[in-house]
Amino acid sequence: ALFSVIKLSGVPFETEKTEIINGNSLSWHRALATLDERFALIGTLHRRKVSCELKGEFNNKFAKQVNQVYQSQFTDKSLYVNDLYLAVIFKGLTTGKIGYLSDLFRRMNGRYVKSTRAARREMNIKQLNDAIFQLTTSLSAFSPHALGNHDASLGCSELLTYVSLFVNGGETFSFKNNARGFASDKTFEKTQQTASIYPQGHIAQAITAKRIFFGDMIQFQGALPKDTRFAAMISIKRYGAESASIMLDPLLHLDGEFLATQSFLFESKTEADKKMDRQGNKMQNANDPATSQIEALATARDYLASDHIAMGYHHNTVMLLSDSVQDLERLIAQTIKCYMNAGIVAVRETLGQEPAFWSQIPTNFKYIARSSLISSKNFVDFFPLHNYRSGFLDGNHLGSAMMLIETPSKTPLWLNLHAKGPKDNPSPGHTTLIGGNGSGKTVAMCCFDAQLNRYGGSSFFFDRNRGAEIYIRACEGHYAVLSPDHAKDIHFNPLQLPDTATNRKFCKDWLIQLIKKEGETEIDERMADQLGQCIDYAYEQLAPEHRNLTHATKILPITFDRWIRLRRWLRGDKSRPDGEYAYLFDNELDGLNLQNKMGFDMTHFLDHEPPSVLAALTMYLMHRIELSLKQEGRLVSIFLDEAWQYLDNDYWQKKLKKWLPTLRKLNCHLIFATQSPKSVVSSPIKHIILDNCATNIYFANPQAKFEDYINGFNLSPEEFNCIKENDTQSRLFLYKQGHESTLARLNLGHLKDLLKIMSGTQASVDLLTNIRKEVGDHPKTWLPIFLERSRLL
């Protein structure tokens, strides 16, 4: 027999729509339809441990500390990946009269017509290659590639590495034959050429790195006494009444390593029909009361005759692997339970352990002891090619992945806020983060920011309730509370910006915003022209030290229609007091110096001021950030807590359509966060934001409403259930990029005391304020004291 092996990435299933899962199964089954009784299939699922490490250079001391503590959880934790292989075996015709004659002719060839054996082998190889090509084409959605195509670049045989899994206890052994010759009869170049990635001789001697002992369990013994692994074989004893493509997916949640093997030997249509007919007659003659089984056999015969299905002999084994006997016993119990929950009786092999072990290896059909005739649709359900998404480690234009996350199935997820893209062109990175109260949204934003520090760059927080203040100060950033109570700390003056066409245009739009009424989208041209003249006057006639809002607006006529609204922003004189918002912009100098990390507490303007005032403030802050992008070109992250309140006005609705794509080109991305999905769904700028976001993160929320998440965010019912059916304390979230989604867990338990820094409360912020008054603003002095005293909160 000849065989070739296809490795597949598989397709996700956990958050997919039922129709997509069924569609994938249908595609897989249609691919099987290209094969006939000359072929057999061996499907292998290899669940193996991986060591995950995400490196990066951090220029911020606290962010580096957060990363080190966070990454430490993966040092001793077991994470797994699931490798899927499909061995396609060309066995020729082995049943019926044609099979008998073919076998006789083959033996005659071998005995009397040896010259034709090579030609016949070439013909068989061609038929196998044709089948492999057809399968890889049909299974494109499962990301297949045939093993052996990259041997030269890898420096080893992929096919031999695959076969070595079974005889080395799930560990791969990459063979390389370093043959050497005598220097007297070979040149150096020829000696080097004798090195080969393929063995010369029997491959059994080339791929085994361990001795195998069979007893109560299987023992794989390496060269050292500590190099020992134990295994047990699980086989199906009795099949269930029905099958489904998700019935064995719980195996992908096992906390352990294993090799699961599914074989399917195609049976000829004639032979399969005879066997089903014979079985049906036996049941009828014996007056078997199982009429449903008799009807099912009749239906199967009809489907077989109509070429809707194929029939074949199936067997399924699971070789469980562990470094300890105690852990192996745990895995045995959990695996048998998985089969039991699927309505299947599985047993641990004892006397049949060794044949079950050898039956895993392709072409070892003679060792299969437990096999049953099933349909091709049943085989697709047993081996559905399901897997978990893992994100991408490489492919981020910034470098490696942003963050390593664990999924509930204990597989690694390489989390990125940016979409996959080339290194020389910034890819979209705008992100939405939806999390209810207590879901850990603020912690997540700070954690993401700390991980983004591996790329360098700057970050700006538009904060609420001072939740990120402690974190920003710990990173040696600048934090400002914007409210009348902190008026003395606010020194904004847009008219101090350099005289450029961009700045003049902005100042005119900004000044118009100051006088707009609530809900007003436009003002009449006469007023707009008068305000524009004020800006031109300020830049052309006033000295820089006199360029402020009060002086610039003195040229407005006394009949100006909006003096009442404008005076709210102006400093007073002898005849009137300061306007209620004068502290914001009517200042002699502009004291806003952008730093690598900055935070603005916007709580007062979010909760106590009208939208028009909030819009004017955010216009200026965003404009200053936008100017810095054009100068620097490095990554800039802008975190907006309750972003829809900031941007829900006419100015931003118009600007965002052009601004979001522009920010991407300038290597800037926005993270929009909210605890109220309703505010997003009902916002007039919803589509502008969501259509431009590369990543959407939804934290678990038992109070999630169908209309918000499915109608508003266009999630599938399965994705919605992942959000609603998990508790907020689980720290689970749905991670979605494009049409692909997966469930993940943000486990920050290892951060311990650092969590008090990542998310502030009123008590912890007040504590920090008092400590800073005692010892100063540098985190080197206040951070140890804060960590010590915060334990008493």
Query: What is the rounded average pLDDT of the residues 220-242?
Result: 94
Environment class of 622 (CB within 10 Å of its CB; exposed 0-12, middle 13-18, buried 19+): buried
Using left for φ > 0, alpha for ψ between -120 and 50, and beta otherwise, residue 687 falls in alpha
Count of residues in the chain = 793
Alpha carbons within 13 A on the beta-carbon side of 486? 14
Q: Collapse the DSSP code of 493 into the 3-class scheme (helix H, G, I; strand E, B; otherwise coil) and give the result.
A: coil
User: How high is the pLDDT of residue 262?
Assistant: 97
318 DSSP β-pair partners: 234, 260
Q: How many Å from the N-terminal Cα to the C-terminal Cα in the chain?
A: 72
Instruction: State which amino acid sits at residue 645.
Output: Q
Is residue 294 within 8 A of residue 280, CB to CB? The reply is yes
Are 373 and 275 spatial neighbours (Cβ–Cβ below 8 Å)?
yes
Q: Which phi and psi (to 5°) does residue 13 adopt?
A: -140, -25
- Of residues 58 and 303, the one with the higher pLDDT is 58
Tokens of 32: 């099987």
Confidence of residue 188 (pLDDT cuts 50, 70, 90): very low
- Alpha carbons within 13 angstroms on the beta-carbon side of residue 31 total 27
pLDDT band at 176 (very low <50, low <70, confident <90, very high): low
Query: What tokens appear for 135 in the block?
Result: 């399968």
DSSP state, 261? E
User: 787 in helix, strand or coil?
Assistant: helix
Structure tokens at 610: 């009208």
Residue 652 has pLDDT above 90, yes or no: no
Sequence-ordered list of residues with C-beta below 8 angstroms from that of 214, at least 6 positions apart, any chain:
353, 354, 357
Report the distance separating Cα 322 and Cα 420, nearest Å.
36
Give Cα 609 to chain centroid, integer Å. Answer: 39
* 703 Cα distance to chain centroid: 25
Residue with tokens 């209620």: 580
**pLDDT computed for residue 194 by the predictor:** 46
Output the pLDDT for position 205: 80
Mean pLDDT along residues 638-650: 85
Predicted pLDDT of residue 182: 40
pLDDT confidence of residue 658? 82
**Quick one: pLDDT at residue 178?**
53
Average pLDDT score over residue span 745-772: 94
- CA–CA dist 171, 319 (Å, integer): 13
Label residue 289 by pLDDT band (50, 70, 90): low
Residue of 620, 608, 600, 611 lying closest to 685 (CA atoms): 611
Q: What pLDDT, on a 0 to 100 scale, did the predictor assign at position 177?
A: 59
pLDDT digits (tens, 9 = 90+) for 99-117: 555 555 555 555 545 667 7
Which H or E run includes 236?
Answer: strand 228-238
In angstroms, the CA 521 to CA 531 distance is 16
Question: Which residue's structure tokens are 């437990």?
Answer: 370
**Mean pLDDT across the chain:** 90
Work out the average pLDDT over 269-277.
Answer: 85
Confidence of residue 558 (pLDDT cuts 50, 70, 90): very high
Question: pLDDT at position 258, please?
Answer: 98
Least confident of 166-180, 215-229, 330-344, 371-385: 166-180
Predicted confidence band of residue 213 (pLDDT cuts 50, 70, 90): very high
Of 145-149, 423-427, 602-606, 739-743, where does mean pLDDT reach its minimum? 423-427
Residue bearing tokens 């109608």: 711
Question: Distance (Å, rounded) from C-alpha 785 to C-alpha 468?
Answer: 19
- Are the C-beta atoms of 453 and 634 separated by less than 8 Å? no
Residue 245 contacts by C-beta under 8 Å, 6 or more apart in sequence? Answer: 13, 21, 22, 24, 25, 380, 381, 384, 386
Give pLDDT, residue 1.
77
* CA dihedral of 122, 123, 127, 129, whole degrees rounded to 10: 20
Mean pLDDT of 213-220: 96
Euclidean distance between CA atoms 299 and 221, whole angstroms = 50
CA angle, residues 437, 742, 696, in degrees to nearest 5: 50
Tens of pLDDT along 367-383?
999 999 999 999 999 99
Classify 770 as helix, strand or coil: helix
pLDDT at 41: 97
pTM over 0.75: yes
Instruction: Report the distance separating Cα 641 and Cα 673, nearest Å.
Output: 5
* Alpha helices, H only, 461-545: 469-474, 501-515, 525-541
pLDDT at 790 over 50: yes
Q: Is the pLDDT of residue 526 over 80?
A: yes
Q: 3-state class of 400 per DSSP?
A: coil
- CATH 3.40.50.300 range(s) for the chain read 417-484+595-608+625-755
Give every CB contact of residue 185 below 8 A, 6+ residues apart in sequence.
none
Is residue 96 over pLDDT 60? no
- Does residue 389 have a pLDDT over 50? yes
- pLDDT above 50 (res 186): no
CB count, 10 Å around CB of 49? 15
pLDDT at site 192: 46
Q: Which residues pair with 695 in a beta bridge?
A: 431, 737
How confident is the model at residue 191, as a pLDDT? 45
Tokens 């890819």 correspond to 427
Measured in degrees and rounded to the nearest 5, phi and psi for residue 143 equal 55, 65
User: Are the C-beta atoms of residues 312 and 267 closer than 8 Å to each other?
Assistant: yes
CA atoms within 13 A on the CB side of 790: 26
Calculate mean pLDDT across residues 640-645. 87
Give the pLDDT confidence score for residue 114 in this predicted structure: 62
Give the separation between CA 212 and CA 167, rounded to whole angstroms. 8
Helix or strand (DSSP H, E) at 83: strand 79-90
Weakest-pLDDT range from 89-103, 205-219, 550-564, 586-600: 89-103
The C-alpha atoms of residue 617 and residue 670 are separated, in whole angstroms, by 18
193 has pLDDT over 50: no
What is the residue-wise DSSP string for 615-641?
HHHHHHHHHHHHHHHHHH-S-EEEEEE
Q: Residue 286: pLDDT band by 50, 70, 90 thresholds?
A: low
Q: Which CATH class is domain 417-484+595-608+625-755?
A: alpha beta
In sequence order, the 6+-apart residues with CB closer than 8 A to the CB of 488 are none
- On whether the CB atoms of residues 452 and 591 are closer than 8 A, the answer is no
What is residue 431's three-state secondary structure?
A: strand
User: What is the amino acid identity at position 222?
Assistant: G
pLDDT at 434 over 80: yes
**What number of other Cβ atoms are within 10 A of residue 9's Cβ?**
17
Q: Cβ atoms within 10 A of the Cβ of 364, count?
A: 16
Q: How far is CA 490 from CA 476, 514, 622, in A?
A: 19, 18, 16
- Of 603 and 153, the structure prediction assigns the larger pLDDT to 603
Say how far apart CA 677 and CA 705 lie, in whole Å: 9
Burial of 4 (0-12, 13-18, 19+ CB in 10 A): buried
- How far is Cα 157 from Cα 167, in angstroms, rounded to an integer? 16
Percent of the chain predicted with pLDDT > 70: 93
Q: What is the mean pLDDT of the segment spanning 539-563?
A: 95
The answer on pLDDT for 281 being more than 50 is yes
Confidence grade of residue 682 (pLDDT, cut at 50, 70, 90): confident
Nearest to 165 by CA among 141, 147, 153: 147
Distance (Å, rounded) from C-alpha 47 to C-alpha 253?
10
CB atoms within 10 A of CB 225: 7
Cβ neighbourhood burial of 608 (10 Å; 0-12, 13-18, 19+): exposed
Query: Residue 482: which residues within 8 A CB-CB, separation 6 or more?
Result: 490, 584, 600, 601, 602, 604, 605, 617
